[in-house]
Structure 1
Amino acid sequence: MEETSLCVAIVILIMQCCPSLPVTVSTNKQKVEVHEFSDAVLSCMFRTERDQNPRIEWKKKGKDVSFVYFDGHFRGPFEGRASIEGATVTLRRVTQEDAGEYRCEISAPFDSVNLGETNITLKVLVPPNTPTCEIPSSAVTGSAVQLRCRDLQSIPPATYAWYKDNQLMIAPRHANATYLINTHTGVLEFKAVAKEDSGQYSCRASNGVGKPTKCEGRHMTIEDVNITAVVVAVVVVCLALLVCGCGGFLMHRNGFFTPGHRGRSFWISECHGAAHISSQNLNRTEDTSNVNYIPPPQEPQDFKHTQSFML
């Protein structure tokens, strides 16, 4: 009897001395990747010390923390398209708006440590769309040309490959190559195009999600430069500029650019000259007439008073 009492006392003492286990929360997959419009499972498992009915909350992190599951109901955009089993949430037909970081929180008020949480990252994969291709229709031999290909919606980002006349262009690895291909930016660059670079070009985008997509092929024509025609055109332009410059100088020198036009100035100057000559001739005539004319002598008159009487 004494031995039984001793064992019970030891068990009670051990229970009182041993630390209590707090609430624990875990997940079997912290990074979840699913294709767009498929279902995503966000696992959350927990264990409590005493509380048999803990509170379960799901939150989504972002600029602001928003509730996904709270007080036994889904909130906002998750309402009607999500389900929960235990603490594991299943989101149906996920889109890019669903991608982000989620947090599962378990609250057990009766436990010594009454809160536990775990984080899960959801990544929604998007297959490549038809890429946008920028292909010039023509170029001149010897010029630098860039062809561009881009798809901004694929997740993860797409890589690119170029085709000429439906034949895959191999990205060169030596420095003396006539063209370069950047598989990450989608740029096909020619340092100096030649006649043989003419052809139909297209670009393919792929990211390992879904099928690769290709833009519609476009033809690029490389044209030669007519050196003779360019030289003749330059000479003609220079001659035209020289003639115009000399003509303008002569016209300016002759007064065509002075107010009143040259013809008017000419006539005015001629009229002034004629008037001046006429004035000089008139003055000369007057002077001559004055020299040749001798006024008749005048007899002296006696202004004495005389009286005349009529008899």
Structure 2
Amino acid sequence: MFVSVALLILIQSAAVVPVTVTSRSPQVEVHEFSDAELSCEFRTEKDKNPRIEWKKIDKDVSFVFYDGRFVGPFNERAEIEGATVRLRRVTQLDAGKYRCEVSAPQDSITLGETNVTLKVLVPPQTPSCDVPSSALTGSQVELRCKDQHSIPPAVYTWFKNNHPLPIRQPNATYTIDEFSGVLTFQTVSRADTGQYHCEARNGVGPSKSCQGTLMQIDDLNVAAVIAGVVLLCLLVLLCAFGVFYAHRHGYFSRHRGRSFWIPQCHGAAHISSQNLHRTEHAQHSGYSHPPKEDFKHTQSFML
């Protein structure tokens, strides 16, 4: 009797299972323009017709499947079986986090949910390469390579004259960051002259390379630099001598009472300036010459 009661309780408790929602593949990775399956499986306690909703979780939450139909950009390119959704020809816009929600109002626990993350893989694209056409020996030079579109991000290999440059090599005159794609020469020499190109790869599709570019390393022309410095010094000295000569000969003298400088001939200008000063002095002292007619009249009167 006791065993029968216990067995009956066990059977009833096993039948009473509240709504549960799970996914066979919480992390989904597919190539761009292929199909993606977002798995969602559920069990309910009593409700035989639960409500199923799919949402995409970005900065804002948007509906994917709502009220029995797909909405927005998922309309006409998605299908659902049970609660599992299949998206056709996914792109980078489809990548992100999705949530499957199952609502069972008749159950003791009315809501269950699970998350599925979709990652859309993109093969390498032709990288952009920045290779200087020339440089001087002893200078620091950087060569850059970048693929902006590959997912996961690409790693990079540099080639010189179609031969790969080892990332780690003893006594190497360069360093390579395979993740950023930067090749750095701390001090280039003429031996670094050559044709350089870069290859991007990420394991999703075939690797891609940029077109090779010739980098020419030239020696610094010390003689030309010295000659240029000497010529510059001579020009500075010549200009200084010209300014001194002009100042010495009065080409930059200034009239008193004027607010600007005027060049003038040395002799005539000096005499004119003296006459002007005498006239100004006489006016300030109050003295003035008598009119010419009055002077003649006085002279004749005294005679």
TM-score > 0.5, shorter chain as reference: yes
- 1:204 is paired with a residue whose SS is strand
- Does 2:25 correspond to 1:24? no
Whether the 8 Å contact between 1:254 and 1:262 is mirrored in structure 2 is: no
Whether the 8 Å contact between 1:20 and 1:112 is mirrored in structure 2 is: no
The alignment yields a C-alpha RMSD, in angstroms, of 2.5
- Does 2:221 correspond to 1:221? no
The normalised TM-score by structure 1 is: 0.80
- Does 2:125 correspond to 1:122? no
| C-alpha distance in 2 between matches for 1:56 and 1:126 | 31
Report the CA distance between 1:17 and its aligned residue. Answer: 7.4
Equivalent residue for 1:255, pick from 250, 254, 258 = 250
Aligned to 1:97: 93
- Does 2:196 correspond to 1:196? no
Whether the 8 Å contact between 1:38 and 1:94 is mirrored in structure 2 is: yes
Aligned to 1:304: none
User: Where does 1:1-311 land on structure 2 (aligned, <5 Å)?
Assistant: 20-174=16-170, 176-258=171-253, 259-263=261-265, 265-270=266-271
C-alpha change, 1:198 and 1:13, in structure 2 (3 Å) is closer
- 2:90 is paired with a residue whose SS is coil
Unpaired segments ≥5 residues, structure 2 = 254-260, 277-302
Structure 1 letter corresponding to 2:183: L
| C-alpha distance in 2 between matches for 1:217 and 1:12 | 79
Report the CA distance between 1:271 and its aligned residue. Answer: 5.8
- 1:119 is paired with a residue whose SS is strand
C-alpha change, 1:253 and 1:102, in structure 2 (3 Å) is same
| C-alpha distance in 1 between matches for 2:275 and 2:14 | 137
Sequence identity percentage: 54
C-alpha change, 1:17 and 1:43, in structure 2 (3 Å) is closer
Report the CA distance between 1:184 and its aligned residue. Answer: 0.6
The normalised TM-score by structure 2 is: 0.82
- 2:152 is paired with a residue whose SS is coil
Report the CA distance between 1:246 and its aligned residue. Answer: 2.0
**Alpha-carbon deviations, 1:42-84, whole Å to 9, x = none?**
0111111111111111111011111111111001000000001
Task: Choose 1 or 2 for highest CA Rg.
Answer: 1
- 2:188 is paired with a residue whose SS is coil
- 2:179 is paired with a residue whose SS is coil
| C-alpha distance in 1 between matches for 2:157 and 2:68 | 50
| C-alpha distance in 2 between matches for 1:32 and 1:123 | 6
Structure 1 letter corresponding to 2:49: N
- 1:80 is paired with a residue whose SS is coil
